[in-house]
Structure 1
Amino acid sequence: MLTHTEYLKHLEKHLHQLSDQEKQEVLADYQEHFEMGMLEGREASDIAKDLGHPRDIAKEVYVQSRIENAETNKSITNLSHAILSTMSLGLFNLIIVLGPAIALLGIYISLWTAVVSLYVGAIGVFFVSSSSGVQLLQLFSSMILTGLGIMLTIGLAKLGSLLYYLFIKYVKWNVNIVKGGNYA
């Protein structure tokens, strides 16, 4: 069984992926767990056993840190880091998190490809040579395709923001389920 000091040293070792500030905050929290438990008359080894293995705690803290970073600093890179760190919690997460992420990303990229094809089509229709009577029809067709492309671009940008928000919520729900909690 680990003593109070040994437990915190092991935890610190496993928190290597966090910044020094985050690491110190986590260690202070767990120091407080030990202090409160010992004030209640509990043995340090029992407290350590109840807290769980330092490696598992470090993984959970790292995942939470990545998710919080993705929430505050919205970018595809931060979202992918949150997803990848969540998968480190187990094989279940690899399947349950990565599968939907790849599927949604594929659908989203397909939608953007369709929008780009509308713009290319608009350019193609406009520059196709034909008789003078058809040029007005070409101009209107090109304008319609461009207008559709613009509307879909705006819609996909908003959809992208919504998907980002929903995926962060999904990842948080998944982490909570893995930890055995109830998501509210």
Structure 2
Amino acid sequence: MNKSQFLAQLHDHLSVLPPEERSELMEDYEAHFAFALQNGKTEEEIAQELGNPAELAKEAIDGRFAPKEPVYWFNPANPEPAPIQTPVRQQPVKRRGGAVTTMVYIGLFFLNLILVPLLISFWSVGIALAASALAGLLSPLAVVLDYFAGHGYFAAKTYATVALVGVGIFLAIASRYIFKALVLISVSYWRWNVRVAKGGAGHE
């Protein structure tokens, strides 16, 4: 089962939920796919790890229902009344007012004016490190091309190339962990923005 099939089945099984709650859950699973794909996993592997969409939907729906007061019915063969439990939806949570929503949007705007450029700068550093790692790993090729260009061979170039390859390997390893952290931070920050904008963080 690939990502599209998994999310489609999950969306169908969550149809009993209100659209906003269903959208939040779908965004969580889409973010999980995005993060796992960045780590080299296939869509099929991710879907298998997550499990059956029907069971996941059932777990998400369970707990959102609360029992009413017991309703009793009388059986002539048994004078003791027996309770019948009837599940009902919990009362909807009150949402914030229009003025508060406007203030939240304004707050998000100014917060993003600071944090988004900061996040972009972090990504720029990560890309620069990755480019430096690539340059170090390809330095032997540059020496070979320099030799065939007629500039001759010097031992110092060989030593410099070995050092550059070592630095390139080190930077490549560091870049791998840096990009993982950047993806996690970016996805988490985006999901938080969406939740706040939709009112998920503004319940009374």
Q: TM-score, normalised by structure 2?
A: 0.45
Bigger CA radius of gyration: 2
Work out which structure has the larger RCO, using CA pairs closer than 8 Å and 6 or more positions apart in sequence.
Answer: 2
Return the structure number with greater strand share: 2
